[in-house]
Amino acid sequence: MIMRREVKTDYFPVRSIFKHHMTTLNRLMSLRTLFTMSIRNLSGRKTRAILTMLAIIYSVALMITLETMTYGFKVAITNEVENILPTDLMVYSQSVSIPEAVAQVIAKLPHVSYVVPAIIISTAQVNGHAVTLIGIPNQYFSYFEVRMESGSLPMSDGEAIIQDTLAQRDNISIGDTIYVQVLTGIQGGSEIIPLKVTGTFSSILGGFLGFQLNMIVTPISTLQNDLDDEGFVNAIFIKLSQENPTYLNQLATALSEYFPNADVYEQKSVLGSISNALSMVNLFFIVIIALSLIVTGLSVANTAIMNVRERTREIGILKALGASNGQVILIFLLEILIMSIIGSVVGILLGIAGAYLARYIMIRLNLPIIIPVILIPTLYVYSLIIAIATSIIASIPSLISITRIRPMEVLRIE
């Protein structure tokens, strides 16, 4: 009886003590404690953590910069098309062969808001350099929303505004007279047209429809008089009073049949072609971004593997004290998340700064393309999610290996 009472008396305190320690361990292994342990582990391996975050920063910054520049270029080029081609339909011929009276007939058609006749010559030259010479009626200048840099619009024949790139190249000032050479026939004849510069404007769409940079815009009557082609044009801009795709297609088809030697352009088709071209460029950027993410994933995977290998004894001790596989994995997962979030936030900020830097360089190089930097919150959220997902996926093999570590084997080896 005595022996039985001694065993019974000793058993309950041991179980009570064990239960007390397990409760204490569970309290210690709270999420806050695990987070603190993760921070301490990262600070103890600063060099490795910093190198891993640099890889994440690089991939996220590259993603933000390239996608921001692509989106900005798309917005800029779309606005420029809508400014230069603020119409639904354009008829264009290489030669001056369309009677201007046709524009008056089209203007009387139903659903047509206005019609602008024009002359566009892409083979003109100034000082031996190619320019694009455009003539439109004075009253329609406002429809093209010309962005004036300096000076004013031409008010009478013999005056013109020129693109700022041409003014910079040939050092042309407002009030100067330029002499535009225009080919007039297959025999090599040419006509010299003097134009007084009244202002300069900016444009990034110099290559639109094959036209060269350095545009010159003058009243259409100037070109008709000097080229002896009064009453003829080679371009007609048509704007509908309301959006009607069916009628627009019918009108485009009719004009194509009536002018078989002319090209008929729809604004939506032009924008669609530009969008497709930009999509191809963006696809190339996506490949570059994907490669950088792969490198980042390899860096995170290497960091996770090294952390698990170096801390095998720590993992064994935690498990021996009663920590579950999930709790131990959570410690390492929190370390990955901390590095991913910090790296992503810094990468986003550097990516935005990189877009502004690229824009500044373009301005300093006097490039005709000035890309606006537009902040895109959804892009930043996606970048953060992609960076975190890449890091977690890359660390999965190492996290799984934690479940295979047996406390007794580790402690016996140690």
pLDDT in tens, 331-383: 888 888 889 999 999 999 999 999 999 888 888 887 656 788 899 999 999 99
SS3 label, residue 100: coil
Percentage of the chain beyond pLDDT 70 is 84
Q: Are 172 and 166 in contact (CB under 8 A)?
A: yes
Residue type, 225: N
pLDDT, average across residues 189-201: 90
Question: How far apart (Å, rounded) are the C-alpha atoms in residues 192 and 124?
Answer: 10
pLDDT, average across residues 279-306: 89
Q: Which DSSP helix (H) or strand (E) runs through 112? A: strand 112-126
Taking only Cα atoms into account, the Rg of the chain, rounded to an integer number of angstroms, comes to: 36
SS3 label, residue 119: strand
- DSSP of 198-242: EEEEE-S-TTGGG--SSEEEEEHHHHHHHTT-TTEESEEEEEESS
User: In the prediction, which pLDDT does 185 show?
Assistant: 58
Residue type, 320: A
DSSP state of 87: S
Q: Which residues pair with 236 in a beta bridge?
A: 91, 117
Is 306's pLDDT higher than 90? Answer: no
For the stretch 131-147, pLDDT in tens is 889 898 888 877 766 77
Q: Which DSSP helix (H) or strand (E) runs through 71? A: helix 46-84
Backbone angles phi, psi at 175, to 5 degrees: 100, -20
SS3 label, residue 322: coil
The more confidently predicted of residues 327 and 143 is: 327
